[in-house]
Chain A
């Protein structure tokens, strides 16, 4: 047993040396996750903070001025142009200068004063339908409050008191960064593990390793442990950025988080080593890994919710370790649940590890036969 541990330890040391002897590697394992967590933390937002609009006011009465004052008062809408004719709308929307055009018809004032309903046209540039949809909802809220204000001092007849659990201001960042804790490290652990065997195979050193007294299982463990350490280290970088830079409060325990992440990294190393064992050279290993990473990330719920996907793809995500890892990290981080509550995330990760790791070890041995 002691012998076994000693052999594993020396293998791990060899692997770590091989990875860290290249100064460029040392940089690439730290800097990208740092930069990406900053950039994406700031970039990933579906919240509207700046909506440039153009106004076509054909009524020019006190009511329309008041409506626009309501709009400007939000701080979100900024007028970039005041249009004179209907023909100008196309130009300003096409060029992308304004996201929305608000058109107030010539009879607006009369209609309002006559107690009729006075239509306001809202033209939206829906090249990004998501942004346009949010802007429409926002303008709708402004108009509701305008109507309520016109009714007189009693305030709106109905107020909606909205609260959000686990993410009070509904910031996309709060979901994204916990998601990145799992996904950024997965990109590199998969690549590293896929390359580790492929590189040795290409250089011919893998055959040397196989003739040593190490069993394939030991070789695999020796390759897996250093990569798991690197993966957890990268997760820690992103976690630090989330905690100390973006100040996203962590509700759960670190123990639960790292236990979950450890299992996830194990599963992704298993996946990477299996790829490594079936590819003939480094280039193949890398390309296959990349082919795998893309769907894994896209179908993980990182950028778009899993529940918006069609049923068939939702089922397909059941073999995606990242999907479970992201759910796990978000729940532990934001909702503060313990490991028991995320058992249905842990079990699939356990199954994936239990299949891929022995498979990789078996593939090591059986390629030489």
Chain B
């Protein structure tokens, strides 16, 4: 903090007794100057309080580091080289060719087993993700044009099973396609009636590496801002309410808005620190591209941090109890940011009511914005729209925080 600005304000006291000396110095100065000196000394008190307790720093700095590592390295929705047992009950070369078809896919790695019994043992032990069973009449029925292959997946990890099912049936479908084309080409010489076939060329925009890390790491910024802004702030402020230290401040001439501002400043700084760590990790550790401008990323993060701080302050002023505040902050801000903001689950696929709940959350807009800024670039209409919504939330929530923080005792 600025020591020269402090000097006239607490000439009589060194500012160690927190709260009380601000009262005295505030009374002496007038108008704007009083506001600044009160704010500076209050902020200094908050920073001292924050630094005094290591657990605050653990949440503000330690947890973001842990989360960055877990999200960057630990969480992945990608399926690569999933082991798939193939039971060949048909000894024909055509059936063996199916395995070759599966091997072409980089997402699955087929393992040939001799009997269905072995395959079931493997899937129950979760050593393979799926079983492909090629029945004994496979090549005979393929010649007749109605061959069948059984695919069995283990459903207790539905997301993974779903993806594997898609890859296996895709690979088999392509294999059948090639077989059919070959057959057609042979017959074409005779009756000249090849129908041709449609092939699909996929182009993954914004995520050329096709890795979930690229969308999880930007999303992590939302989680960390929520954590620092809503959770940490709600807890710290609720503690002051619970212990009555805030009441001690009420007897001083500081205004509620100054109390709130002094709370916001240090936690804002911690949130920004977390943001800095995320940005560095995204750039240098996980090599997530940053297509949008860094300035807009910073600006929109600040907006969202203010929203989160607003939520935290409102929760603490309403509950005035640490346990309740922490639970409410967790339930109303953190869990929704994780589950309902589109971080993991795409909002397009949820029922309408849940979609509306998701759309009412500020985290959803920040999630969309930050992912776009990282992976797609400066999409101006989206930037304006979402920033405006976030700014609206910030104004309303901070205003609400000011409204519920009254200098009175119940």
Q: How far is the CA of A284 from the CA of B58 in the complex (A)?
A: 10
Interface size class of A (residues with CB under 8 A): 35 or more
Residues of chain A contacted by B324 (CB below 8 angstroms): 24-25, 28
The listed residue (A134, A294, A307) touching B163 by CB distance below 8 A is A134
A117 within 8 A of B: yes
The listed residue (A47, A129, A136, A283) touching B211 by CB distance below 8 A is A129
Residues of chain A contacted by B327 (CB below 8 angstroms): 28, 32, 188, 191
A147 within 8 A of B: yes
B244 within 8 A of A: no
Stretch at the interface among A161-169, A224-232, A264-272: A161-169
The listed residue (B63, B156, B211) touching A175 by CB distance below 8 A is B156
Within 8 A of A (CB), among B182-222: 184, 188, 194-207, 210-212, 214-215
Judge whether B350 and A126 touch: CB under 8 Å.
no
Judge whether B155 and A287 touch: CB under 8 Å.
no
The listed residue (B66, B176, B322) touching A294 by CB distance below 8 A is B66
Judge whether B379 and A143 touch: CB under 8 Å.
no
The tally of residues in B whose CB lies under 8 Å from a CB in A reads 118
A137 within 8 A of B: yes
The listed residue (A115, A155, A310, A335) touching B188 by CB distance below 8 A is A115
Judge whether A24 and B59 touch: CB under 8 Å.
no
Per-residue contact bits, chain A 294-331, to B (CB 8 Å; 1 contact, 0 not): 11001101011101111001000000000000000011
Judge whether B166 and A147 touch: CB under 8 Å.
no
The listed residue (B172, B214, B344, B353) touching A158 by CB distance below 8 A is B172
Query: A43-B340, A283-B235, A299-B70 in contact; A96/B368 too (CB < 8 A)?
Result: yes
The listed residue (B163, B203, B339) touching A124 by CB distance below 8 A is B203
Chain A min CB distance to B386 (Å) = 11
B250 within 8 A of A: no
- In the complex formed, the residue of B with least CB distance to A105 is B201
Question: Is chain B's binding surface mostly helix, strand, loop or mixed?
Answer: helix
A236 within 8 A of B: no
B154 within 8 A of A: yes
Judge whether B170 and A124 touch: CB under 8 Å.
no
The listed residue (B168, B176, B336) touching A157 by CB distance below 8 A is B176
Chain B min CB distance to A101 (Å) = 9
Residues of chain A contacted by B150 (CB below 8 angstroms): 161, 163
A93 within 8 A of B: yes
Judge whether A137 and B167 touch: CB under 8 Å.
yes
B55 within 8 A of A: yes
Q: How far is the CA of A297 from the CA of B167 in the complex (A)?
A: 29
Judge whether B153 and A164 touch: CB under 8 Å.
yes
A150 within 8 A of B: yes
A141 within 8 A of B: yes
Residue of B147, B330, B345, B357 most packed against chain A (CB within 10 A): B345
A72 within 8 A of B: no
Residues of chain B contacted by A279 (CB below 8 angstroms): 55
B151 within 8 A of A: yes
Q: How far is the CA of A150 from the CA of B157 in the complex (A)?
A: 36
Judge whether B203 and A144 touch: CB under 8 Å.
no
Judge whether A161 and B149 touch: CB under 8 Å.
yes
B35 within 8 A of A: no
A290 within 8 A of B: yes
Judge whether B156 and A334 touch: CB under 8 Å.
yes
Residues of chain B contacted by A95 (CB below 8 angstroms): 379, 381-382
Judge whether A284 and B55 touch: CB under 8 Å.
yes
Judge whether B173 and A295 touch: CB under 8 Å.
no
Per-residue contact bits, chain B 252-269, to A (CB 8 Å; 1 contact, 0 not): 000000000000000000
Residues of chain A contacted by B66 (CB below 8 angstroms): 291, 294-295
Q: How far is the CA of A36 from the CA of B321 in the complex (A)?
A: 22
Within 8 A of B (CB), among A131-164: 131-134, 136-141, 143-144, 146-147, 150-152, 154-164
Judge whether A143 and B323 touch: CB under 8 Å.
no
Q: How far is the CA of A112 from the CA of B194 in the complex (A)?
A: 9
- In the complex formed, the residue of A with least CB distance to B144 is A154
Chain B min CB distance to A257 (Å) = 15
A362 within 8 A of B: no
Residues of chain A contacted by B344 (CB below 8 angstroms): 44, 303-304
Residues of chain B contacted by A36 (CB below 8 angstroms): 331, 335
Query: A42-B353, A126-B205 in contact; A335/B156 too (CB < 8 A)?
Result: yes
Residues of chain A contacted by B31 (CB below 8 angstroms): none
Residues of chain B contacted by A147 (CB below 8 angstroms): 177, 180, 197-198
Judge whether A154 and B146 touch: CB under 8 Å.
yes
Q: How far is the CA of A113 from the CA of B192 in the complex (A)?
A: 11
Chain A min CB distance to B45 (Å) = 17
Residues of chain B contacted by A84 (CB below 8 angstroms): none
A238 within 8 A of B: no
Q: How far is the CA of A24 from the CA of B315 in the complex (A)?
A: 13
Within 8 A of B (CB), among A100-123: 111-123
Residues of chain B contacted by A136 (CB below 8 angstroms): 200, 202, 204
Residues of chain A contacted by B177 (CB below 8 angstroms): 144, 147
Judge whether B153 and A127 touch: CB under 8 Å.
no
Q: How far is the CA of A151 from the CA of B177 in the complex (A)?
A: 10
B405 within 8 A of A: no
Chain A min CB distance to B293 (Å) = 15
Q: What are 21 residue pairs bridging A and B, where the CB atoms are less than 8 Å apart in the complex?
A: A43-B340, A46-B349, A52-B348, A120-B200, A122-B202, A127-B206, A129-B214, A141-B166, A141-B169, A144-B177, A147-B197, A150-B197, A155-B145, A160-B148, A160-B168, A161-B149, A166-B154, A283-B53, A286-B235, A287-B55, A295-B66
Give the A-binding residues of B (Cβ under 8 A).
53-56, 58-59, 62-63, 66-67, 70-71, 73-79, 123, 126, 142, 145-163, 165-170, 172-177, 179-181, 184, 188, 194-207, 210-212, 214-215, 231-232, 235-236, 239, 319, 321-324, 326-328, 330-331, 335-336, 338-340, 342, 344-346, 348-351, 353-354, 357-358, 368, 371-372, 375-377, 379, 381-382
- 8 additional contacts (CB under 8 A) given A130-B77, A175-B155, A291-B63: A40-B335, A122-B202, A134-B162, A138-B166, A141-B166, A143-B200, A175-B157, A284-B53
8 closest Cβ pairs, A-B complex? A167-B155, A115-B194, A137-B166, A126-B207, A158-B176, A164-B155, A287-B55, A144-B173
